[in-house]
Structure 1
C-alpha cells in the first residue's frame, strides 16, 4: 500500500478531482469490495483460530495450520487501512509511524505465509519418504522451534520497511506512504538516486527469491516426489489434507504474484506510465486481501458438494478440514509415525 498524514487534510472530493474518472471508479469499486471481504476474513479466520487453537488436539499439522491462519488473520486486520487509502485516492491519513508499521506487517504476513506453506510441504514429503525418521523426530516441540524461527526470519526480512518507509507530500496536498531507499537526504542527487536504486534492486531480489521463487520450487519439488511415489505404488492420496494443501498453495501464489510484479514495476517507473503501476497496486491489494480472507473458506468447500457443506455442522467441517488421513491413505505410514506425534 503506497500512500501518511498532514495538518490540512484534503477532502475526498478534492483528491478525487486529481484522478481520472476511471481511476476513481476502480479505487471506489475495490474499496467497496474490500468491506465485505474484511468482514468475511475477520469472522472466518477468527473461527479457524478458535477451533485450531482451543478445540483441537495439538499436533504438527494443527500447529502449522494454526500459524498459517494467524498470518491470514494478521493481514485481515490490515484491510481497513487499504479501504481508507483507496477511498481517499491513495492519500495516507494515518501518519508516518503507521505507514512503517502497516507495511512491515504486510511483509511479515507475506514471508511467514510462504515459509509456513514450505514447511507444510516439507512435512508432507518427510511423512511419505522418511516415515521411520518421523517416528522420533517429527514432534510438536521440534515443529514449534521451526515455527518460531520462521517468524523471526520473516520479521528480520521485513525490518527494512521500518527504516525506508516514509510519508511525503506531493502535488495537491496529497500525502503518500512510500519507500525512500536513499535514507539520507531527499535523494535528489544523482548519487543518492543511484544508491537508492541499488538498495531497491537488492531488496526486490531478496524478496522475490525468498518470498516466491525458491519456496515455489521447494513446494513443487516436494509434491512432485510425493505424487511420483503415489503413482509408483499405485496409491491415490485422496485425503482431505492433500486437497487442502494444494488449494492453499495455488491461492497463495496467485494472490501474491501481483505483489512481486508491482514491486518489480516500481524499479522501472521511469519507463512505465504511473497508471500501470497504480493498476497493479490495486490488483495486488485486492488479490492479497481476498486470499487472506477467503482461503479458509476453500478449506471447507474443496471437493465438497454445495448442499453437503450446508448439511454438515460448521464446526465438524472445520475439524474435518484438518484431520490427517495419511495413516489410512499410505500403508507405510500406519502406526504412530503415520499420524501426528503428539506433545507430551
Structure 2
C-alpha cells in the first residue's frame, strides 16, 4: 500500500474499531472523535449494567431456582452467552473514551472472539429452540419420551463448540499497531480473506439460521391451525419475541457489513451505519430478560416483581411445551 494513500474504512467488529487491513498504517479511515463515540460509550455502560444484572438474574433463576428441564437449559445457555458478552463491554468503553487500546494483543483478539461467540451461540440456540418446538408439535409422543436434560446439555455444548470455531477468525485477523501515538486494535485481513469472513458470518450466523427458523415456524403454524388449539400457542410467545428481537438487532449490522464489502461509496453513510449497527447489536445482549419480564404472566401476589415475572415466563414456556 502506498504510504500516502488514504485507507478505506473497514467493516468493524461491533467493538467500534474501524481500522482497515493495513500493512503500512498511515491514516485511520475515521479520525474524527465526534459525539457518536460518546453516545456509544454511554450506551455500552447502560447495556453493561442492564445486561450483567438482567442476565445474571436469569442465570440464577434458570440455573438454581427452577427445576432442571430442556427449556430451562436453552434459556440458561442464552443468558450465559449474553452475560459473557456484557462482561467484556467495559474494554470497549475504555477504548472509546481514551481512543487508545491499552489492553494488549491477546485481549484485542479475545474481546473480538467473545463478541462473535455471542452472535453465533445466540442464533444457534434460537435455531435449536425452534427445531425443538417444531419436533414437540409434530411428534408430541416421541418428544415426550426422548427429550431429556442430558441430551439438551449435550446439544448446547456442541452448539458452543461450533460457535467457538465460527468465531475463531477473530483470533487470527485482530492485531494491535502503534499509530500516531496511540495503540490501535484493528482487523488485519490477509489478502482475499475479508469477503470470505464477512460472507461466512452473514450466511452461517444470520441467513441460514433464519431460513431454518422460518421453516420451523411454518410447520408449527400449519400444525396449530389444524389443531385449532389456542392453548397450544402459548409456549411459543417468548421464543417468537426472542427471534424477532435478534433479527431486528442484527440485520443493520450485516447490511452495513455487506455494503462495505461491495465498496459502497458514501463513507458518511457507512460510518453512521456502523454506529447504528453497533448500537443495535450491542443492545440485543441485554433485552432477553426484559422480554421474559414483559411477556411472562404476572403473579397475583407479586405483579410488580421482576424476579417473579422472569420465573413465570420461563416456567410458562416449560409447562406449555410439556403440555
- Report the TM-score range of the alignment, normalised by the length of the smaller protein: 0.7 to 0.9
Shift of 1:310: 6.8
Matched, 1:163 2:172: yes
The CA distance in 2 between the partners of 1:125 and 1:105, in whole Å, is 30
Tell me how far apart the structure 2 counterparts of residues 126 and 57 of structure 1 sit (CA, whole Å): 22
Q: TM-score, with normalisation over the residues of structure 2?
A: 0.84
1:1-344 to 2 correspondence within 5 Å?
1-3=15-17, 18-19=31-32, 24-89=34-99, 91-170=100-179, 172-182=180-190, 196=191, 198-237=192-231, 240-269=234-263, 271-302=264-295, 311-324=303-316, 338-339=322-323
SS in 2 for 1:322: helix
Q: Deviation per CA, 1:248-290: give whole Å up to 9, x if none.
A: 1011111122232333234245x53443333222222221221
Q: CA deviation at 1:221?
A: 1.1
- 1:114, CA displacement in angstroms? 0.3
Change in 2 beyond 3 A, CA 1:286/1:250: same
Q: Distance in 2 between matches of 1:133 and 1:304?
A: 29
Q: 1:268 to 1:47 in 2, by over 3 A?
A: same
Q: Write the distance in 1 (CA, Å) between the matches of 2:17 and 2:44.
A: 17
Structure 2 unaligned runs (5+)? 1-14, 19-27
- 1:137-158 deviations in Å (ceiling 9; x for gaps): 2111111111111111111111
Structure 1-normalised TM-score? Answer: 0.79
Q: Secondary structure at the match of 2:276?
A: helix
Output the CA distance in 1 between the equivalents of 2:319 and 2:111.
Answer: 42
- For residues 102-157 of structure 1, give each alpha carbon's deviation from its aligned partner in whole angstroms, at most 9, with x where no partner exists: 00111111000000000000011000001122133211111111111111111111
Residue ranges of structure 1 left out of the alignment (5+ in a row): 5-14, 183-195, 340-344
SS of corresponding position for 2:88: helix
1:211, distance to aligned residue in structure 2 (A): 0.4
Larger of the two Rg values belongs to structure:
1
CA RMSD after TM alignment: 2.7
